[in-house]
Structure 1
Amino acid sequence: MSLIWLQVGQCGNQIGQEWWQIITSSGDDADRYPYFSRDGLINAICVDSEPKVVRRLRQQVRKGYFRDANIISGQRGRGNNWAYGYRDPCSGPERSLLERTMESFRREVERRDCYSGTVILHSLCGGTGSGLGSRLCEEIRDHYPAGHLLSVTAAPHESGETPLQHYNALLCLSWLQRYCDGVLLFPNDEVLKRAASTTDKKSYTSSGLQPAVSLPAMNAHIASCLAGLLYPVYSLKTKSTISIGLEPWELIRCLCPMASMKYLHAVQACRRGTAFWDKVTSSVVQTVPRANPQGRLHHSLSVLAVTRSSQDYSFLLSRDSVLTKLKHSYRCVSWNPFPVHCWTDPQNILDPSNHSHSLTVCANHSSAADLITSVLGRARTMYDARAYLHWYRRYGCEDGDFHEAFNTLDSVVEEYTNLGQQ
């Protein structure tokens, strides 16, 4: 089995660049097999409406990592406008980004011995990541319905990044709900806190303040969580210890059994030294959102724990206590008989040094409803005031698209709100 990685927009390509740095630094060619073609090039398509970000990727083409035909860029951005990115207009004889991307995608599928699905990296905020990303999810689902589709999505800061971000997030989330099998959400505010907590506390500026967390550090954190979850694990390898790239699809199977609830929350802890797994677990669960702003307790449909340790299988000694702690801390629903899943691997790809271990936990958690509720509230306020709608109508987005998006996400919030009562 084999999968295709699709990086869309500035955010998606920057996260992808950090991800591939982790993957290509691994010394085990057998584990890298699911991510590379037979000619040794990466199974990735990188697309952006502006050339500035993909220029760095083109440098890696000369090193033999990416396929030159899979680096696709335009000459002008999409104005942080979902409708502009979704419609993807082109001028003159130039083919649209959508056409060029789908053509490269078709060729990549034909190179696979067995196409299993796509992982798409993008954001909810930018015009290319949200708009073109939504359109690509729709096109891939229509043309390749048998393949899985996992979205890895960066959500904008709640304080605001662009005036149109709430409309963009509203429309993009509704498209992901319709066409994707799973959505791994990384809110920028949460990523910022996680990245800050891992910054060297001894590094201060001349004024005595700890330096601000950089954008590459935030992208590196997201890529680290992805590697913790999706890099091949021993638990899913064949008897001959060959990885066939099941990790993304097993993650969907474990965590997204119900089509109405597919939004995932990930957190990670990495340590060096003796593997005290109970302490590592405590550092993970203490960051889990406990309740929504109204004080209603959150619940989880299911939880996946992935442990990687250079100390062989030391986790197995603490396995039962760790999984029990995760089950209670994430408040798994009582009607799911097997709510907690566990994968293990004797190699820590995140830190290959001796005596290092990591725990990455991914959960189908009702805290996703908090982010969606915030997006709904702000987008509805703007829509009722008819603010900025002309920018969307200009590219063919109608009132019906907004109404359908509101209804779709209202249903998602209702499902998650009632999760603990079922």
Structure 2
Amino acid sequence: MSQIWLQVGQCGNQIGQEWWRIVSNIVAEDDRYPYFSRDGLSNAICVDTEPKVIRKLCQQAKKGNFRDTNIIVGQRGRGKNWAYGYQGISTNGEKSLLDKTMDAFRKEVERRDCYSGTVILHSLCGGTGSGMGSRLCEEIREAYPAGYILSVTTAPHETGDSPLQHYNSLLCLTWMQRFCDAVLLFQNDEVMKKAACLVEKKAITASGLQPSVSLPSMNTHIASSLAGLLCPVYSLKTRSSVSVGLEPWELIRCLCPMSTMKFLHTSHVSRRGMASWDKMTSSVVQTLPRADPHGRLHHSLSVLAAARNSQDYSFLLSRDSVLMKLRQAYRCVSWNPSPIHCWTDPQNILDPLCHSLTVCANHSSAGDLISSVLAKARTMYDAGAYLHWYRRYNCEDDHFQMSFDTLNSVVDEYRGLGVL
């Protein structure tokens, strides 16, 4: 059950580069199968509307890591505008970017012996990642309705990456809700805090301040969290220890039993040596949002823990206590008969000497982010700010009203998660 990885925009391709660096360390041929074709090239399609980030991938294509026909580049960006990315522009060369991508996607599906779904990496903020990413999800859903779509998306900083980011996030989140089966949602502010804890082990610079967090270190943290969840695990292999690539789709099955709630929160921790699983669990739950801005306690619809050992089975001795602590900390709803799921693997692809614990939850804190996006986008919309940039590309009031209605429904669903 092979999967296709679709990297869209600057953010999606930067995270994708880190992901493939990690996955390339897979040694066992059976475990490489879900990610690489029989000719040894990755199952990746890399798309951007400007060549800046893609240049590195072009170099890797020459080394035989990526298929050169799967690297699709335009010559101008999308101005951090969702509507521009979604609709494209009128010139024939640029307009064909969508067609080229879908043609490459079709050929990649035909190379698979069993196409099961797509993992798309993108952002909510940029015009290409949000707009073209939304359009590609829509096109793939229409062309391959039986395949899963798992979105891995990053939300911009609260302080602001772009004056259009709230509109872009509003529209992109709506398209993800409509066309994706699950969304692994990473928030830049939260990722930065977690990455800061890993920089030089909280080393203090000569000025007495904590060292700054680089963009590559943030991308590495996101890619490591993905590897903790989606790399092969022993729990999902066949009896002959062959990986069939079930991880992304089992994650969707476990965590998204209700189609109205599909935004997932992920935490990842890794320790070297004789790490205590109980302490690692405490580190995971320590950064978990407890309540919304109004004091309402958060709850979880379902939780998945993926534990990777350093060549031992020590996790099995602590399994029950770890899962109990996670169930209590994540406040799993009482009406779900199976709210906790666990995967284990005796190897850690990130570092053979490390133990890692990755926890993914359908957690009501997603409603806080969506509510914040709604409030800021509504303020701008009521003031008529920047709307002409969207109307220029046929994004009218109907699109915004549909988005407000859709996301308000999602927020209501998450707020009612803990209500019996």
> Shift of residue 208 of structure 1?
3.4
2:89, 2:95 within 8 Å by CA — same for their partners in 1? no
Deviation at 1:78, TM superposition (A): 0.1
The answer as to whether partners of 2:84 and 2:390 remain within 8 angstroms in 1 is yes
Cα distance, 1:205 vs structure 2: 4.0
Q: Which residue of 1 aligns with 2:63?
A: 63
Give the Cα–Cα distance (whole angstroms) in 1 for the partners of residues 318 and 92 of structure 2: 63
The aligned amino acid for 1:369 is: G
| TM superposition shift of 1:101 | 0.4
Asked if the contact 1:89–1:96 (Cα under 8 Å) also holds between the matched residues in 2, the reply is: no
Q: Which segment is superposed worse, 310-319 or 14-23?
A: 310-319
Q: Deviations over 1:267-301 (max 9, x none)?
A: 01111121311111111111110000000000000
Aligned pairs (5 A) from 1:9-408: 9-93=9-93, 95-201=95-201, 203-353=203-353, 356-408=354-406
* Cα distance in 2 for residues equivalent to 1:371 and 1:202: 28
Q: Which amino acid aligns with 2:151?
A: S
For residues 113-162 of structure 1, the C-alpha deviation after alignment (integer angstroms, 9 at most, x for no partner) is 01000000000000000000000000000000000000000000011110
- Within 2, Cα distance between the matches of 1:416 and 1:230? 25
2:109 alignment partner, SS class: helix
Counterpart CA distance in 2 for 1:104 and 1:352 is: 35
Structure 2, unpaired ranges of 5+:
none
Question: Are the aligned partners of 1:86 and 1:131 in contact in 2 as well (CA < 8 Å)?
Answer: yes
Q: Percent identity?
A: 74
Contact 1:90 1:96 in 2 (8 A): no
AA partner of residue 71 (structure 1): I
CA distance in structure 2 between the aligned counterparts of 1:233 and 1:384, rounded to whole angstroms = 49
Per-residue CA deviations over 1:3-25 (Å, capped at 9, x if unaligned) read 10000000000000000000112
Q: Residues 293-328 of structure 1, C-alpha deviation per residue, up to 9 Å, x if partnerless? A: 000000000000000001421111111111111001
Closer/same/farther in 2, CA of residues 244 and 334 from structure 1, 3 Å limit? same
1:11 and 1:386 map into 2 onto residues whose CA distance is 29
Distance 2:148 2:258 in 1: 15
Secondary structure of 2:293's counterpart equals coil
CA–CA separation in structure 2 for the residues paired with 1:299 and 1:233: 27
Deviation at 1:95, TM superposition (A): 4.9
CA distance in 1, matches of 2:60, 2:205: 33
Shift of 1:350: 1.5
Q: Decide whether aligned partners of structure 1 residues 202 and 394 sit closer, same or farther in structure 2, where only a CA change above 3 A counts.
A: closer
CA distance in 2, matches of 1:277, 1:2: 32
Structure 1 Cα separation of the partners of residues 373 and 415 of structure 2: 16
Q: 1:90 to 1:28 in 2, by over 3 A?
A: farther
Q: Deviations over 1:155-207 (max 9, x none)?
A: 00011110000000000000000000000000000000000011114655443
Asked whether the 8 Å contact 1:26–1:349 carries over to 2, the reply is: yes
TM-score (norm 2): 0.98
1:166 is matched by which residue type in structure 2?
Answer: H
Task: Measure, in 1, the Cα distance between the counterparts of 2:46 and 2:37.
Answer: 16
Structure 1 stretch 311-320 or stretch 173-182: which is displaced more?
311-320
Counterpart CA distance in 1 for 2:203 and 2:308 is: 28
- State the superposition RMSD in angstroms: 1.0
Which 5+ residue runs of structure 1 have no aligned equivalent? none
Q: Which residue of 2 aligns with 1:414?
A: 412
SS in 2 for 1:357: strand
Count of residue correspondences: 420
CA contact (8 A) 2:49 2:75 kept: yes
Please tell me the residue identity of whatever aligns with 1:392.
Answer: Y
Q: Distance in 1 between matches of 2:95 and 2:368?
A: 40
3-state SS in 2 of match to 1:34: coil
Q: Which portions of structure 1, spanning 4 or more consecutive aligned residues, are displaced by more than 6 angstroms?
A: none
How far apart are the structure 1 equivalents of 2:382 and 2:254? 39
Call closer, same or farther: CA 1:94–1:411 in 2, change over 3 Å: closer
TM-score by length of 1: 0.98
| Distance change >3 Å, CA 378–CA 340, structure 1 → 2 | same
Q: In the aligned structure 1, how far is the partner of 2:129 from the partner of 2:202? A: 36
What SS does structure 1 have at the residue aligned with 2:331? coil
Alpha-carbon distance in 1 for matches of 2:246, 2:333:
26
- 2: distance between equivalents of 1:50 and 1:93? 13
Return the offset for 1:105.
0.2
CA–CA distance in structure 2, aligned partners of residues 92 and 376 of structure 1: 35
- Distance (Å, rounded) in 2 between the aligned partners of 1:194 and 1:377: 26
**Structure 2 residue identity aligned to 1:195:** A
Deviation for aligned residue 1:28? 2.5
Question: Aligned partners of 1:367, 1:210: CA distance in 2, in Å?
Answer: 28
Q: Is the 8 A contact 1:310 1:357 kept in 2?
A: yes
SS of match in other structure, 1:297: coil
One-letter amino acid of the counterpart of residue 399, structure 1:
D
Superimposed CA distance per residue, residues 44-65 of structure 1 (whole angstroms, 9 cap, x where no aligned partner): 0000000010000111111111
Amino acid in the other structure paired with 1:16: G
Residue type of the partner of 1:51? P
Write the letter of the residue equivalent to 1:185: L
Q: Do 1:134 and 1:172's aligned partners in 2 also have CA atoms closer than 8 Å?
A: yes
Alpha-carbon shift at residue 209 of structure 1 (Å): 2.5
SS in 2 for 1:395: coil
- Please say if residues 36 and 43 of structure 2, whose CA atoms lie closer than 8 Å, have aligned partners that are also in contact: yes
Which letter does structure 1 place at the counterpart of 2:119? V
In 2, Cα distance between equivalents of 1:352 and 1:417: 41
